[in-house]
Structure 1
Amino acid sequence: QTIAFNLPNDERVREVKGSKKVLLKNVMRAKYDGILTPIAGRVLPAGSADEISFEAFYQFTLHHELSHGIGPGKITIDGRDTEVRLELKDLYSAFEEAKADVLGVYDIYALVKRGVMAPGILDSLPWTYTAGMFRTTRFGVAEAHGLGMVLQANYLLEKGAVVLTEDGRFRPVPEIFEETFRSLAHELLMIQAAGDYDGAVAFVERYGTVHPQMAVAIEGLEDLPVDIDPTYPLEGLR
């Protein structure tokens, strides 16, 4: 069950008419309460689950959707007009979802710096994002959101923006979150801007396998739902 969407994907339509962003806040709340909150209690350091917030989850989702409209769409390669989605082929969706996640986080830091958003959001954003890595990765690397998140998680672990504790928990390092997300945004955006399929393949080969400790943590979430299945009471009135 999706929590938000930004459509259409067709660059011809987006160029002329733009795109529409829709956020399902009640679905977000259900996933936050029933999935993300219990995940946080198991993957974040003991006593840290209270660091996450629904506001950070909501803002991250909002800026993820906004970020789908940011970055390369139509590009030119060796004088040939084309689109990022055509050049990145089977990897396009995963890179687009990763880009939207990464820019979504970076956008929030940028807006706080400009005084558009209150700085308090940054207290919970790194923790909420870190718990969210596991919520999304559980969809699996065969799914675009899942693979996109695995790319991010491994990059953050490599750069030290998320670290493993001695007891196998995952802790964000807020002090370098903004810098690391800026760096990762550059990597993803340059691959898109160049339509660099070989670069995308190399990036997936380096970062596209679930980290062993992350896999162990995910095994410990098996009793928690991966998704929700909404019921519609009015459906029975037909």
Structure 2
Amino acid sequence: MKINYLVVLSALIGLTSCSNNSENKSVLANDSLQNYVAERLPIYAKVRLTTDIQKLTENERKVLPLLIQAAEIMDELFWKQSYPQRDSLLATVQDEKTKEFILINYGPWDRLNDNKPFVKGIGPKPAGSGFYPADMTKEELESSNVADKKGLYSMIRRTDSGKLLSVPYSIYFRDDLVRAANLLREAAQLSGPGQLRRYLTFRAEALVTDNYMPSDLAWMDMTNNGLDIIIGPIENYEDGLFNARAAFESYVLVKDKEWTKRLEKYVSMLPELQRGLPVEEAYKKEKPGTSSQLAAFDVVYYAGDGNSGGKTIAVNLPNDEKIQQLKGTRRSQLKNAMRAKFDKIMVPISAELIDKSQQEHIKFDAFFANVMFHEVAHGLGIKSTITGKGYVREALQEQYSWLEEGKADILGLYMVSSLLKKGELEGDIKDYYTTFMAGILRSVRFGAGEAHGKANMLCFNFFNSKGAFERTDEGTYKVNYEKFESAMNDLTREILVLQGNGDKAAVEKVQKEMALIHTDLSSDLSRLSKKGIPVDVIFEQGLSVLGLK
């Protein structure tokens, strides 16, 4: 039977506001947990997102506002996916600080504290966010006859008869996506002939057709662009039910050409690094793509999923395994945001929790390299299981994202160690290991309920079990450099085997046993809060901040 999506859509529009958590209807005025919110708001440090506009061409200065306007639409779309009742909630809640915290978290759940509700009357965050009906179970969808049960680009809704239905994003969010596509087409025309115009044209078409591969391939081919935009439904973290559906987001970027030139050589080394992985041959037989690019950018606008929870400081895309195996990925380092996190968060954490004898090894260049090679390391390892279970992502489902982040953490460190030994990277290994340790203490504050937080806790607890560091009597952490490298190799092997086998039950067991915060660490992290050290950043951003308005 052919489905008339336009008829279905008009019937579903009225259901959008009640598609999340039915308990939200009971929210009353003066209902915020004001003391909790007042304590949590200061965990964010404000950062102005700027760049040197004078380095842009006249055309680029005309294009940039259009890209930001398109990104703003992605922000609205992410609200519709994560918490479509935003406006009614904000109108009901009276406490101004709670309203601000709702906007930071894209809803009434604290993303950096295991999604704890901070508005009375709000229940737990639905695992499937707003992608699925609130009363739907995993089993119901899996046993249904919906064609794309785990589709990247569709919303699951109920018909009046209660039947589950999949509605493509291009239909469900049609009007917003058409507006965004028109902005990209206008930007394409202003950008002049070349790679950026081609990508923007293809991406505009993707937004209104749900066919993203041509634009992903065009994006992979961009090498000489001064501006860039990552835009569309991309990451799966928000779908905690199946880790299947993609959330809307955007990053508007200005290339740092000088730093980018310094990074170009590393991608060609991926095949050699893959061969040297400390794991059995079957788990490293795939050949990583070498069309991958490393580039440094100033990010001037975050939107949607990328602006929620812990803010990313590096991006590794596309996620499509077919494109990864064909052409690799592009790794974009968000240098200005990275520097802000290092100065405002990493340095103060290190002064409090890293042993005084090792604090001299906390270096920005080491932090930059560790983050950069984390992104590069997504291209190493294995994408397809060796047990006939298909792609690792498909086999592990909701257990995939956190383990993949753990793989990137540990293989990124492996790459640093290997490149130092080959003389391809400068610095002292102690700088990289100590800064990595401080990085774990920074990132785990995002909470063990989030993918990156789980990954960091796996690293922390595994390294602890191997004696790779010690907690001193003064409550600081001291790295054992020899054991650190050995633990790194052991954890590399364990993660790659888990992924290659596609054993979801085994990964769940590791998560329950290792991806959690124990008492001593929890106490140490509380010290950071009492000292007023931020957990993450929020942004002052937009055309006025850039001096373009």
TM-score, normalisation: structure 1? 0.93
Q: CA deviation at 1:76?
A: 4.4
For structure 2, which runs of at least 5 residues remain unmatched after alignment? 1-310
- Structural RMSD (CA): 1.5
Partner of 1:82: 390
In structure 2, C-alpha distance between the alignment counterparts of 1:17 and 1:122, rounded to whole Å: 31
1:213 paired residue among 510, 520, 544:
520
Q: CA deviation at 1:17?
A: 3.3
Partner of 1:94: 402
- The 3-state SS of whatever aligns with 2:470 is strand
Q: CA deviation at 1:81?
A: 5.4
User: Which string of whole-angstrom CA distances, capped at 9 and with x for unpartnered residues, describes residues 47-82 of structure 1?
Assistant: 5433210011011011100001111112342xx451
Contact 2:446-2:453 within 8 A present in 1 as well: yes
In structure 2, C-alpha distance between the alignment counterparts of 1:46 and 1:180, rounded to whole Å: 23
Partner of 1:144: 451
Larger radius of gyration: 2
TM-score, normalisation: structure 2? 0.42
Contact 1:55-1:121 within 8 A present in 2 as well: no
Q: Once the two structures are aligned, what percentage of the paired residues are identical?
A: 35
Number of paired residues? 235
In structure 2, C-alpha distance between the alignment counterparts of 1:135 and 1:91, rounded to whole Å: 23
Partner of 2:510: 203
Q: Give matches, 1:1-238, under 5 Å.
A: 1-46=311-356, 48-77=358-387, 80=388, 82-118=390-426, 120-222=427-529, 223-232=532-541, 234-235=543-544, 237-238=548-549
Q: CA deviation at 1:141?
A: 1.1
Contact 1:4-1:61 within 8 A present in 2 as well: yes
In structure 1, C-alpha distance between the alignment counterparts of 2:382 and 2:439, rounded to whole Å: 26
- For structure 1, which segment, 149-158 or 198-207, has the greater mean C-alpha deviation from structure 2 after superposition? 198-207
Contact 2:333-2:372 within 8 A present in 1 as well: yes
Q: CA deviation at 1:201?
A: 1.5
Q: CA deviation at 1:230?
A: 2.6
- The 3-state SS of whatever aligns with 2:332 is strand
In structure 1, C-alpha distance between the alignment counterparts of 2:444 and 2:496, rounded to whole Å: 21
- The 3-state SS of whatever aligns with 1:82 is coil
Contact 2:454-2:515 within 8 A present in 1 as well: yes
Partner of 2:200: none
Structure possessing the higher relative contact order (Cα contacts under 8 Å, 6 or more residues apart):
1
Counterpart residue identity of residue 137, structure 1: V
Contact 2:466-2:483 within 8 A present in 1 as well: no
